Structure 1
Amino acid sequence: MAVIAELTINSEDFDLGRVTSLAGGMHIELERVVPTGGDVMPFFWAKGSNFKRFEHAVRENRIVEELQAVAKVGDRVLYHVYWGDTVSSLTTILTESEATILEAHGNTPWTFRLRFNDHAGLTEFHNLCQEQNIDFHVERIYTLVEEETGVYTFDITPQQQEALVVAVSEGYFEVPRRTTLKEISNQLGISPQAASERIRRGADTVLRKVLLSRSAADLD
């Protein structure tokens, strides 16, 4: 089943991010839907005040062959960028994991909404990013069905969901941790042992859904 991931990536990890971040004060948004095969991120919108300075900075970059303003709507300009010898590992990773960019915008950092054919594609994306030392922060992961219904349960109990929400929001999974199991249990009004069981069982269920879910081909 197709899965959607919303995440943030530093602008230094892909060509368009590096090029457009040189001219500060501009907000960039990819023209949706953007294919990752063939031309890589050829169209984007720019919003800001100093377009002359922005265009000069982009055109001066050695990997940009040409930049053309296609249209202006209000305070936004649609550009077509022609790439030269790009070096972005992120765009290669998106292609290899067969990801489709549904939405991407920002400057530093960027927010991406990516669609993968299945959980295996998302896993491939994660592994390739690890190999290339590309850090990203996951905001949400959900299936198309969950997007349509607006329900994101991952088959965990309400108690497990509550414990996971508290753990994530308080920084329990961060390195270093910003909270302790005892502090989480106090917020939930349960024992540390019970809090630990809810967090571990809920996390195990979610991770199995995300990383180990079978596709339709596996059922044949």
Structure 2
Amino acid sequence: MAVLVELTIDSQDFDLGRVTAVQDGIHISLERVVPTGGEVMPFFWAEGADFELFEASVRENRIVDDLTAVARVGDRVLYHVFWGDTVSSLTNILTESQATILEAHGNDPWFFRLRFNDHAGLTEFHNLSQAEDIDFHVERIYSLADGETGVLTFDITPEQQEALVVAVEDGYFEVPRQTTLGDVADQLSISPQAASERVRRGADTVLRKVLLSRSAADFE
């Protein structure tokens, strides 16, 4: 099953980050989903910049063959960057681990949302990054349900998810607790015992996925 990861990386650890970190207050974001098997990070939006100065600074970088302004929408400009022969370690790592960049934006640090074919790809990404001394901070790891684009799953039943959502929203896990399992049961029109079983089993499954899985444990 596909694995999605949200993480942050220092701008100095990849080409686009280094090249565009030329002004304070500038924000860069990838224009669309870009599979890393082909042309990597060719289009990006820039905003909050002195665009003439920005363009000149980017073009002066030795790893940039050319930079073209494709479109301007309000205070944002869409650019197409043509990379030279030098490719950052991160680009190679993304390609070798068969990752797809679903989202990337920032300046320093950058936020990335990546999709891997499976946990093996994620593990390879981690190992290759360590070998290249690329530090990243994992914000979130989760799976994409088969055949349901955009639907996240921790392998819990719909009933368990419904009970957990009510419990979390009403403050059952807060300290001190803001509600009881009896109140959760009343909202769901089920018995307190059924509410207890759904919340406990659902929470146990989610916590095991997050804390005990190989990838979600920060690879330790």
TM-score, normalized by the shorter chain, greater than 0.5: yes
Distance in 2, Cα, partners of 1:86 & 1:203: 42
What's 1:8 paired with? 8
Structure 1: 5+ residue runs without aligned partners? 162-186, 190-200, 213-220
What's 1:117 paired with? 117
Distance 1:56 1:126, change over 3 A: same
Question: Contact 2:144–2:153 at 8 Å: present in 1 too?
Answer: no
Larger radius of gyration, structure 1 or 2?
2
Distance 1:209 1:79, change over 3 A: same
What's 2:32 paired with? 32
Question: Normalization by structure 2: what TM-score?
Answer: 0.70
What's 2:213 paired with? 209
Moved over 3 A (4+): 146-155, 201-212
Amino acid at match of 1:209: S
Distance in 2, Cα, partners of 1:121 & 1:108: 26
What's 1:79 paired with? 79
Distance in 1, Cα, partners of 2:156 & 2:141: 10
Question: Contact 1:29–1:45 at 8 Å: present in 2 too?
Answer: yes
User: How many pairs were matched up?
Assistant: 173
| Cα deviation, residue 188, structure 1 | 8.8
Structure 2: 5+ residue runs without aligned partners? 165-174, 178-204
Distance in 2, Cα, partners of 1:211 & 1:154: 19
1:152-192 residue CA offsets vs partner (Å, 9 max, x unmatched): 5789x9xxx9xxxxxxxxxxxxxxxxxxxxxxxxx799xxx
Question: Contact 1:99–1:117 at 8 Å: present in 2 too?
Answer: yes
What's 1:102 paired with? 102
| Cα deviation, residue 67, structure 1 | 0.3
Amino acid at match of 2:34: V
Distance 1:203 1:111, change over 3 A: same
Amino acid at match of 2:42: P
Which deviates more from structure 2 when the two are superposed, residues 101-110 or residues 21-30? 21-30
Distance in 2, Cα, partners of 1:148 & 1:42: 25
